[in-house]
Amino acid sequence: MKKDLIIHEAPKSPVSEAIRTLRTSITYKMTKNHDKVFLITSSSIEEGKSWVVSNLAIAFTQSKQKVLIIDADLRKGRQANIFSLDNSYGLANILDNSKITIDNPNLDEELKKVIFKTQIDNLFVIPSGLFPSKPSELLENKQFDIILEKLKSEFDIILFDAPPINIVTDSMILCNKADSVIVVCAIGKTKRESIVETKKKIISMGGSILGVVINKMPIDKLKEYTKDYTKYNNNKIIKIDNSKLKNIS
């Protein structure tokens, strides 16, 4: 496993504590609205989507949930790498598999081929698979809805790791497959206009935004940024900083 998994490597660290705070916020929403499927996206690259997904997933297993990560970043998915899994067969393949039909009695068998157990108890991953030439088209295939229905009955929580929504259309397609969308911003990188654009795109697809994760935040900037981001996004703000637990405002 990679160094990314701080909540596994250093469960008592302040960052891990912040991830558990994020888990608490999501759990509240899950219980209230019976939500189960969450899309984690952001405006641009390297804001921490994959990092948040993998750590959050582990946090949920620590509260006894059975968790599935679906790596829906069919362009640069790195969940297989994070969990040291083979990425040669994954979501891209199952979405292209003509045996995925509602009435196929062997649907479970086909699905099992792409669900990989990780070293973390109760955590499973569907890797992206080898990067296809037309990722957006694949995500629109009807196979996606068929497998998602099935997976919802088998897992307590499903997290989609997705590509950046302002750059490619894929996350927009994923918006209405998820019950709720979580937007990751990276301090010093994500521009305010980009967040506004991201919010517009999610809403235009009928997506429901749960909140914003402010990632990579230096502790001394917390107050200042919270004010600004609240102004641009009427949602709850969840902060992940690298030094101290800060709660939601």
Ligand X SMILES: Nc1ncnc2c1ncn2[C@@H]1O[C@H](COP(=O)(O)OP(=O)(O)O)[C@@H](O)[C@H]1O
Q: Per rule CB under 5 A, is residue 50 in the interface with Mg ion?
A: yes
Q: Per rule CB under 6 A, is residue 175 in the interface with ligand X?
A: no
**Residue pair 209/180 in contact by the 8 Å Cβ criterion:** yes
Give whole-number Cα distances, 86 to 39, 61, 82, 147, 153, in Å. Answer: 23, 22, 11, 20, 25
Q: Per rule CB under 6 A, is residue 49 in the interface with ligand X?
A: yes
Nearer to Mg ion, 100 or 214 (CB): 214
Selected from 9, 10, 46, 154, the binder of ligand X by CB under 6 A is 46
Q: Which two tokens stand for residue 122?
A: 């109760």
What letter would DSSP give residue 4? T
How many Å is the maximal CA-CA distance in the chain?
A: 57
Q: List the beta strands (DSSP E) in the chain.
A: 37-42, 67-71, 116-117, 123-126, 157-161, 180-186, 209-217, 236-241
Mark the segment that binds ligand X (CB under 6 A) among 28-36, 42-50, 136-144, 152-160.
42-50
Nearer to ligand X, 21 or 50 (CB): 50
The entry of Mg ion, ligand X, none that residue 239 binds, CB within 5 to 8 Å by partner kind: none
The entry of ligand X, Mg ion, none that residue 1 binds, CB within 5 to 8 Å by partner kind: none
Q: Per rule CB under 5 A, is residue 49 in the interface with Mg ion?
A: yes
Bridge partner list, 116: 125
Q: Per rule CB under 5 A, is residue 118 in the interface with Mg ion?
A: no
The conformational region for residue 244 under phi > 0 = left, psi -120 to 50 = alpha, else beta, is beta
Selected from 5, 23, 51, 92, the binder of ligand X by CB under 6 A is 51
Selected from 21, 26, 47, 229, the binder of ligand X by CB under 6 A is 47
The entry of ligand X, Mg ion, none that residue 46 binds, CB within 5 to 8 Å by partner kind: ligand X
Nearer to Mg ion, 49 or 201 (CB): 49
- Cα separation, 138 vs 78, in Å, equals 18
The 3-state secondary structure of 184-204, one letter per residue? EEECCCCCHHHHHHHHHHHHH
Taking the complex as a whole, the smallest distance from the CB of residue 216 to ligand X amounts, in Å, to: 5
Judged by the rule CB under 5 A, the positions of this chain that interact with Mg ion are: 49-50
Judged by the rule CB under 6 A, the positions of this chain that interact with ligand X are: 4, 42, 45-51, 78, 215-216, 240, 242
